[in-house]
Chain A
Amino acid sequence: MSMSFLPEDMNWICRPCGVKLQPSTVELSYLGSVFSVELPACPQCGAVLISEELATGRMLQVEQLLEDK
């Protein structure tokens, strides 16, 4: 799952940091597996944005795959 999942709309500001989210390397972990992906995150506090499309699409598929392992 080493891919980029940046939403089309990247115009999000992190509050209270007041900084625009930037494409960042994020580790997604579940049931002992770790994947490195590119996601929007706050460069200051590190808060990560998981879009609806990602959560209900590819991420759900991977979760289900891992749950069957």
Chain B
Amino acid sequence: MDQKELREWESRCIQEEPPACTAGCPLGVDARAFVQAMVQGDMQTARRILEKTMPLIGITARICEAPCENFCLRKDLGGSIAVGLLERSCISSAPRQGKILCLPSRGKKTGVLGGGPSSLVAAFDLAKKGYAVTLISSTSPGGWLSDMPSTVIPPEILAEELAVLEKMGVWFESATTLTPDVLAEVRTRCQTVYIGHDGELDTELCNLLANVAPETMALPEEGLFTGGIADAEHLWRYITSVAQGRAAALSMDRHMQGVSLTAARPRPRHGHTDLFTSLKDVNPKARIIPSTENDNYSPDEARQEAERCINCQCLECVRHCVYLQEFGSYPKVYSRRVYNNEAIVKGTHQTNTFINSCSLCGQCEILCPHDFSMATLCLEARQRMVEENRMPPSAHAFALDEMRAALSSQFELVRMAPGHQSSSAIFFPGCQLAAVRPDQTIALYHHLRAQWRDTGIWIGCCGAPAHWAGRKTEFREIGEQFLQSWRKLGSPRVLTCCSSCLQMFRKQLPEVDAQSVWSITAPPLNAAAPAKQLPLALTDPCTARNDKATQAAVRRLIADLGQELADLPLSGELTECCGYGGLMDNANPELTRKVLENRVSQTSADFLTYCIMCREQLARTGRPVLHILDLLFPETARSAEEAPLGISTRRANRRALKIRLQEEYFGERISPPEEWQGISLKIASELLPILEKRRILTDDIRQVLWLTEQSGRYFEHQSRGIRLTSARLGEVFFWLEYVLNGNEYLLQKAWSHRMVPAKVTK
């Protein structure tokens, strides 16, 4: 990923866009953070937030007309948050939090004519930027602020803010009247001059202030700037004046530095933001009216009012995705992490696990207002990791091993229908259905053949694990191999039960006419939902998210069976992955457990699904889960409470299914089993979950024991009668502790590692 691509990714995630209140504040005050601090009753933090952007805070917080409230998303849901009142509440409760830090002197002088609020703010901003500011006024500085009732601006507050300016180095001078002569004199000693409309200027000077550039507040004469152009009737008199003073100060700074006044200048947002905030679950709540006479909130009232704040955030994807929550941030930050991960030459790639944990399910893309796809971000990152040989070897090892086994001659079976020389269709159940439900696979094959006699069968794998693991070359080769075999069959229609297979065929092999079995199947005559079956929550597989036709077909089938469905809000295009997709379970089993717990917490109903891995994964939580085949073929139905099958059973089933089909359907002679398959093995039941967790197959165990028999090499305990052996299968070293009883191996322990040991010979 290069910088340009990173920018493109980042620009799609709008979580860092300002909330409407900040976008509506001419001073850019972070009103959302301020109000959230007020929710906590933390006046100090609240004030600190105001101090970051608010000039003359004692005055501004007291009289700002709060245009932000105009843009508040609460507006029509009980009234905008009373940010202005909350600011007053804060300013009168918490003292100044931090010292105002000014940049070191730039050795340049600037002048400000007029003592109105806009002039004070221009002086404030310029002094902060390190300029020597001289402010000349004909009346006492403060202008019309001095006329405000003392209940609104106590005189001591104005004096305090003027003292602050003085402390910042602003030099106050007075003139009888502010005339063009005064301006001419100031110009002789200052590089730029600000003339505040809201000061008491004489008419001649006022006449010089025509034709101001609204964006920069620059006057036609070079080095002159103005602001404070708001009369007493102006609805936003104060905030408009000070915003203009600030805009002018920015221009004066740029002018004195000799840079463009407009290039890359932040544009006023006038309330516009791209931040999306869902108001779906926001209930109306009326604005809190101050109970005291002076129109100020009590601390309790302030908190109650602040609590009405929606705390505008997008986070549409994060709210729904356990994976995105797990890593504590949101896609914009995640894309930066992926970029940084690739940029690291030495050191720890802390984002590898993050990249490999995404289920690639695509829910975020549906939820995101700008279609940000974590799936694409993570998949492309995986592909680059594989290409650059940086993919952690163990990340997807087991799933890839499973896939390669399913594609090997030991397990794969491709046949025309018995007695047929051509097939108009071929049944491709998918590698996992064949492994988990061999009986139902055969029942479904029967059923399909009852409609289309010439339907062939293909027990194999579509290569999805290679795709999910980012192994482009291997995935392409699997696809090419598939096409070769498929063409040999006469390019038949491919009927599959598996949404992942369907997705892979449709995306990667568009010339293959692939269809979902569910969309072409009518229920068998004897099929029906069991009597008194409660409504079931139908979970769509994530790979069927965009396959509306299959979703609808499945619902029609279920309705035909008389099965009622319970409500499950996150279904259809918003469905959630079970943790099998994208190989999440391989890279991050602990996260998968959380994903599953979250999924079953969304309904109290039992689940129904039409993806066998969804069935097996969800069943791990203990929640009853049926597969649609359990309803379609009652004679082969499995209990919804049945625990998921272990990895070794799945592999044994797959092997047995091939043999059964070869014998029963095709009358073929079965090739003799591998020699290691003859090893007589007994495994203590308490060891089974450990083998499952460590992903050690009984096939692996038998192979290691057979290799031990061949080599005659093992360790024997001196007194306990146990033996220890090991062998390397592929990249993994397997260790077995066992007792040999006659010719039966009683396995007691098994473990594995990838590090390669070698004794140092001296």
Contacts and interface: CB of A to CB of B under 8 A. Distances in A.
B759 A25 contact: yes
Contacts of A12: 715-718, 724
A40 B744 CA distance: 28
A59 B753 contact: yes
Nearest to A27: B758
B733 interface: yes
Contact of B756 (A29, A45, A47, A64): A29
Contacts of A49: 715, 724
Interface stretch (B233-241, B320-328, B349-357, B625-633): B349-357
Interface residues of A, number: 39
A12 B760 CA distance: 19
A52 to B, nearest CB: 5
A28 to B, nearest CB: 5
A11 B712 CA distance: 19
Contact of A24 (B715, B724, B753, B760): B760
Instruction: From A9, A50, A63, name the one whose CB has the most chain B CB atoms within 10 angstroms.
Output: A50
B716 A26 contact: no
Interface in B652-698: 694
B22 interface: no
Interface stretch (B97-105, B249-257, B388-396): B388-396
Instruction: From A14, A29, A67, name the one whose CB has the most chain B CB atoms within 10 angstroms.
Output: A67
Contact of A28 (B352, B737, B756): B756
A36 B760 contact: yes
B395 to A, nearest CB: 7
B713 A47 contact: yes
A5 to B, nearest CB: 11
Contact of B757 (A13, A39, A56, A63): A39
B393 A31 contact: yes
A45 B712 CA distance: 13
B715 A50 contact: no
Interface string B710-733: 001111111100001010000001
A48 interface: yes
Contact of A15 (B347, B715, B756): B715
B754 interface: yes
B713 A24 contact: no
B755 A67 contact: no
Contact of A27 (B348, B714, B751, B760): B760
Given A27-B758, A50-B735, A60 B724 contact: no
A68 interface: yes
B151 interface: no
A63 B393 CA distance: 10
Nearest to A40: B715
B188 interface: no
B526 interface: no
Contacts of B392: 64, 67-68
Interface residues of B, number: 37
A9 B718 CA distance: 10
B633 to A, nearest CB: 42
A63 B754 contact: yes
B349 A63 contact: no
Given A36-B760, A68-B348, A11 B755 contact: no
A68 B353 contact: yes
B45 interface: no
Contacts of A9: 717
B648 interface: no
B726 A50 contact: yes
A50 B737 CA distance: 12
Contacts of A13: 715-718
Contacts of A47: 713, 715, 759
Interface in A4-32: 9, 11-16, 20-21, 24-31
Contact of B752 (A29, A48, A55, A62): A55
Contacts of A11: 717-719
B48 interface: no
Given A12-B717, A15-B712, A68-B392, A52 B757 contact: no
B533 interface: no
A26 B349 contact: no
Contacts of B493: none
B749 interface: yes
A41 B759 contact: yes
Contacts of B395: 67
A15 B753 contact: no
B761 interface: yes
A55 B751 contact: yes
Contacts of A16: 712-713
A59 B717 CA distance: 23
A48 B749 CA distance: 18
A60 B753 contact: yes
B348 A69 contact: yes
A39 B715 CA distance: 14
B720 to A, nearest CB: 8
Contact of B755 (A25, A59, A69): A59
A67 to B, nearest CB: 3
A26 to B, nearest CB: 5
A48 B757 CA distance: 7
A26 B348 contact: no
A46 B759 contact: yes
B755 A30 contact: yes
A36 to B, nearest CB: 7
A33 B393 CA distance: 14
A50 to B, nearest CB: 6
Contacts of A26: 757-760
Given A12-B716, A47-B715, A28 B757 contact: yes
A36 B755 CA distance: 12
A38 to B, nearest CB: 10
Contacts of B761: 46
A15 B755 contact: no
Interface string B472-510: 000000000000000000000000000000000000000
A52 B751 CA distance: 6
A47 to B, nearest CB: 7
Contact of B393 (A25, A27, A67): A67
24 contacts: A12-B716, A12-B718, A13-B715, A13-B718, A15-B715, A26-B757, A26-B758, A27-B757, A27-B759, A31-B393, A45-B713, A46-B761, A48-B758, A49-B724, A50-B753, A52-B749, A55-B751, A55-B752, A56-B751, A59-B755, A62-B755, A63-B754, A64-B392, A64-B394
Interface of A: 9, 11-16, 20-21, 24-31, 36, 39, 41-42, 45-50, 52, 55-56, 59-60, 62-65, 67-69
Interface of B: 347-350, 352-353, 392-395, 694, 712-719, 724, 726, 733, 735, 737, 749, 751-762
User: Which 7 residue pairs are nearest across A and B when measured between Cβ atoms?
Assistant: A67-B392, A46-B759, A11-B718, A55-B753, A48-B757, A12-B715, A30-B755
Given A11-B719, A14-B715, A52-B737, 8 more contacts: A9-B717, A15-B712, A47-B759, A50-B726, A50-B735, A63-B753, A68-B352, A68-B353
